[in-house]
Amino acid sequence: MDKRSIIGFVLIGLILLVWLYYQNQNSKVDQQKRDQISKQVQDSLNRLTPKDTTKKPEVKKDSVLINIQQVNDSMRYGSLFSKFEKGEDKVIMIETDKYYAEFSTKGGTLIKYRVKGFNTWDGKPVELIDYSKGGELNLIFSSPDGKMINTKNLYFTSTYKPWEKVVLGNNESKIVFTLPVNDSAGARIVKTYTIKNDGSYMFNVDIELQNSNKFLTNYEYQLAWENSLKLTELRSDMEGSHAEAFSYMGDELEIIDVTSNEEPIKSDLTGTTNWVSSRIKYFSVALVANNPKANGSYITGTRWNLPDNGFYENYSIALKMQVKNDKLEKSNFDVYLGPVDYRILKDYNVGLEKTMRFSLDFIVRPIAQYVILPFFLFIHNFISNWGLVIIIFSIAMKIVLSPFTRYQMKSMKKMSEMQPKMNALKEKYKDDPQKQQQALMKFYKEEKINPAGGCLPLLLQMPILYALFGVFSSTIELRQAHFMLWINDLSIPDVIMHLPFKIPLFGIDQFSGLALLMGITMFIQQKMTVKDPKQMAMVYMMPVMMTLLFTTLPAGLNLYYFIFNLLSIGEQYYVTHVKGKKDPDDKSYGEVKIVQQPKPTFKYKGKK
């Protein structure tokens, strides 16, 4: 390994170090700062809701209490909607091959959604809606008396009985909720859910506004999903780092990410909008405007730090719909609620697959999307164990990169052979750096040496590693994928030991088994390659640093790097010990050593 290879390793390590620093920056937040922020928030809440210590007169008449309650309801919802705050809460159940769902007459909302075939980290079925925060798919608009109405707390009517289970007739059923705002004026809101048992995670919603000028102003309403999906993974920071919201306007994808923001983010966009979406690590919800398209979107994002140094993110998404017909306004939507699966999302043909992000879009995404993921899925059709799929991918990548590796070996050997001449040039022009550089460049050209040749395989590996990280950390196919022994989930670190403290600078308190194996193989590989005593410090430092950096990364990524290093060790041994002995005249390969040329001797040929 020449000097430039060492510099390449150092640069790569620094890039990874900076990247991990920003990925884990929440762990760097000082506890005192968090306590201070929490205290400020609590003080603000206390100021908003001051304690009333005055003695209140005892009210004995129930009629007075009822009148006060009616006044409060009227103040909150106005004269048109206050009467709908009370009603019968009917729950209607429906089940398909992909999910079990419950709808409620309170708000005419979706209150429960269980995804079949998926479990949380502790083995429970995946539930994506937290009903304690209220149902979803609400309508928000302003009324003529100046009230902001959210239908989530208003009771709709339905012909179904409480806790009735809908039977899917002809693989399709409809659930209808009606809010009769003003029957005498023919003003009402009708929500119709169409459920199909077609193997899809998507269902349809029709919104019908009749004589909306009687209860709606500004000619606009919002269809809203007000809360993020329930977390499904063990660590909140792993969920939070992938939680995002999106607005797809034309061909432009607007991304709202509050991960690195202490303050809430609000996005109010205007323009033709196809859909809005919110996701956690492995599951997402999307509201798709079919006919007509939305005229904008409204998204808010908020982050909370948790006591365990993790954090939680909440996103509220809404489509802004324009009302063009006072008498009868109809809007049709599709709602996707399911796994972040590239193939499934792409099949809907509305661009939902764009919510799968693989780090750097301009370099990494094409590699992940068009090379790694299709390769994995193709091999998985024949081999069910994802660990074996990764090993096969490692072998394939080693074969592809082998010509570059051998070019590296040739370059390093030639550089070592030319080292004495290069040192002579450096000594000759040691007082003039500019002439020294010109002389070296001319020498490289004459000898056909590429000084950066030793770094080429490392540079080619970096986009692949980043793409693999994106695939392993966000592809649901690898979620909870068991390999062997202690490796139960290839999408998260394979922790074999926890430390009672955090390692300074790196901020880690655990060790990964595959990361240790990767570091050991990296050390062996460099030990076989580097023979210059001046470079031996890097032989020990780089594997240690890379082990610490990779110990928090997915086990699948470390498995790939470990197998790739093993194959590189085998290749190095073959070309230096086997091929070199069989073909001693082939000087393309061999053990890289610093060759010291003998000093020239001169004979005096003058007169005696």
* 444-499 pLDDT, tens digit each: 777 766 666 556 666 777 888 888 888 887 788 888 888 888 888 888 888 888 77
Q: What is the pTM of this model?
A: 0.75
Q: What is the pLDDT of residue 10?
A: 54
Question: Measuring CA to CA, which residue among 210, 235, 206 is closest to residue 223?
Answer: 206
DSSP assignment, residue 186? T
What are the two backbone dihedrals, phi and then psi, of residue 524, each rounded to the nearest 5 degrees? -60, -45
The overall average pLDDT reported for the chain is 78
Residue 10: helix, strand or coil by DSSP? helix
pLDDT band, very low/low/confident/very high, at 11 (cuts 50, 70, 90): low
Task: Report whether CATH 2.70.98.90 matches the domain 85-357.
Answer: yes
The tokens describing 608, both together, are 């005696």
pLDDT computed for residue 235 by the predictor: 75
**Residues 326, 338: contact at Cβ < 8 Å?**
no
Rounded distance between C-alpha atoms, residue 59 and residue 64, angstroms = 8
| Pairing of β 294-305 and β 172-182 | unpaired
Is the CB of residue 315 less than 8 Å from the CB of residue 245? yes
Alpha-helical (H) ranges within 297-432 are 342-347, 364-367, 373-380, 386-417, 419-428
Q: With 80 as the cut, is the pLDDT of residue 180 above it?
A: yes
Cβ(535)–Cβ(1) below 8 Å: yes
Residue given tokens 């809460």 in the structure block: 89
Residue 560 tokens, joined: 């790939």
Alpha-carbon distance of 185 to 207, in angstroms, equals: 19
Q: d(Cα 362, Cα 174) in Å, to the nearest integer?
A: 44
Q: Are the C-beta atoms of 587 and 410 separated by less than 8 Å?
A: no
Triad 41, 42, 48: Cα angle to 5°: 90
Domain segments of the chain as ranges: 85-357, 372-582
In 10 A of CB 364, how many CB atoms?
23
pLDDT tens figures, 73-97 = 456 777 888 889 988 899 999 999 9
Q: How far is CA 594 from CA 292, 460, 580, 586, 589, in A?
A: 73, 27, 18, 18, 14
Tokens 């002995």, located at residue: 581
- Per-residue tokens: 179: 């809010």
For residues 316-327, average pLDDT: 90
**pLDDT tens, 400-433?**
888 777 766 666 666 667 777 777 877 777 777 7
With residue 291 as reference, give the H or E element that holds it: strand 283-291
Other beta carbons within 10 angstroms of residue 590's beta carbon come to 17
- Judged against a pLDDT cut of 50, whether residue 55 lies above it is answered with no
Q: pLDDT tier at 289 (50, 70, 90 boundaries)?
A: very high
Q: What is the dihedral of CA 230, 234, 237, 241, to 10 degrees?
A: -60
By residue count, the chain amounts to 608
Residue-wise pLDDT for 526-565, tens only, equals 777 666 566 666 767 888 888 888 888 888 889 988 998 8
Q: Is the pLDDT of residue 512 over 50?
A: yes
Phi, psi (rounded to 5 degrees) for 338: -175, -160
Residue of 270, 250, 262 whose CA lies nearest to 318? 270
> What 3-state DSSP class applies to 496?
strand
